Amino acid sequence: MRALLLATLAACSGGGGGGAPTFDFGADGLLLRVGEPVHAPATTATGADFAVDPALPAGLQLDGATGAITGTPSAVTAGRDHVVTGRLGGLQVGTTVRIAVGPALPAEVSFLEPGFAVERVTTLALPPAKMALAPDGRVFVTELGSGVVRLIDATGALVPTPFVTVPVLTGSHRGLLGVALSPTFATDSRVFALACTPAGGGHPDRSVLYRWNDVGGVAQNQVVLLDDLPVSTLNNGGALCFDATGRLLVSIGDTENPTLAQSDGSFAGKILRLEPDDGSAAADNPTPGSRVFAKGLRNTFALTLDPVTSGLLLADNGPASDDELDLLQPGRNFEWGALPGADFGALTGTQLRRWPDVVVPTGLAFRDAADALDWPSAHERSLYLTFYDDEIVQRFELSGSQRTDIDREVEFLRFVPNGTANKPLDIQRGPDGRLWILTFTAIYRVDRIR
């Protein structure tokens, strides 16, 4: 059961004609959610007399004979210590249990790991693609088909005025795709986005990498960092991420032509690594003067930086199976589009996980021990992945010097299937360590109940 109270009572040997009751409410106490019943196992002790002070949160009761706390919480309650005392055979013992009640799960969520709460921050009118979180609490969201970058303010309200609008091709995998904020956004206010753009001004249909400055919530100083990038109806990539050195990484899909992923004459099927000032190749890229950082990819829709190791991970989508989680390293070839029998030796990309069934990984996010929230220690070494097909957020517990060994995989959150409405598109760690999840219709925020 999702909210299971472990309370036990046993008769221990002792003087005074009986034993003292013992009980255990767990190291974290009780972190509950409104509307979810609490069940405790029965105990074998008889003749006990239990009491609690102060009174339990609304909807909960203490069994005076067993010391079990049962019921269904009916109201959100901040964490508070409750002293449970028990008498048996003339002896008395007490323990303190902290109880907190978080809000009920939204209707769109069917499961969330116990001890956590999720809230819908805002509802979106048009389908998005990606989001980026600013240090001041605002969220930048790209609308796939409209070409609009939207702003959600720190209260969760949609800002009526668009941040910016760019012309976009629409349909399938085309539109306004990834968005990223400069690591020094608080001082330089830079916003980056990739768009599939229609022909015009002497250019054919193509993808364009833009940069703006955020001035009072409106884009100023538009710069085209890269133009004439490959584009097609499907497989346009679009993930943006900054590495630990401040260089910008951009994924470009194979644009429905696997052979291009191996071609040095095309950016298709590649991860590019750029200087954010002018879009030029990062000086320490594998090949001097080339923007290509890695190749042999089909359709990478998620990139993330590990804040502990400074390593980079990517999620690449396979054709009808073989979605991958990969370690992104300079000069590596991930083999998509390669001829049968091709051997890239030490330059072969490092694969951490391959799914034989289609999961469609769309988002990646880390948490780390520096986050100022009291999440369980296992979460300090966890990677979170959004799976489009299954409408879930999966959690990987990692270890190893590069945090690339997957020790455990658990389901963290599950959305209710509803067409495309609740399919997750992105996940990000907020400035304070909470997790934000983007679906086609809303933005959600996950935190520990406390």
CATH code given to domain 10-101: 2.60.40.10
CB 156 within 8 A of CB 122: yes
CATH code given to domain 109-448: 2.120.10.30
Q: In what order do the strands lie in the sheet with 312-316?
A: 300-305, 312-316, 323-328, 350-355
pLDDT tens over the chain, length 450 residues: 222 233 333 433 333 344 555 566 777 889 999 999 997 654 545 567 889 999 999 999 998 888 889 999 999 999 999 998 888 777 787 888 999 999 999 999 999 999 999 999 999 999 999 999 999 999 999 999 999 999 999 999 999 999 999 999 999 999 999 999 999 999 999 999 999 999 999 999 999 999 999 999 999 999 999 999 999 999 999 999 999 999 999 999 999 999 999 999 999 999 999 999 999 999 999 999 999 999 999 999 999 999 999 999 999 999 988 999 999 999 999 999 999 999 999 999 999 999 999 999 999 999 876 777 789 989 989 999 999 999 999 999 999 999 999 999 999 999 999 999 999 999 999 988 999 999 999 999 999 999
Where do the domains of the chain lie?
10-101, 109-448
**pTM score, whole prediction:** 0.93
CB 388 within 8 A of CB 363: no
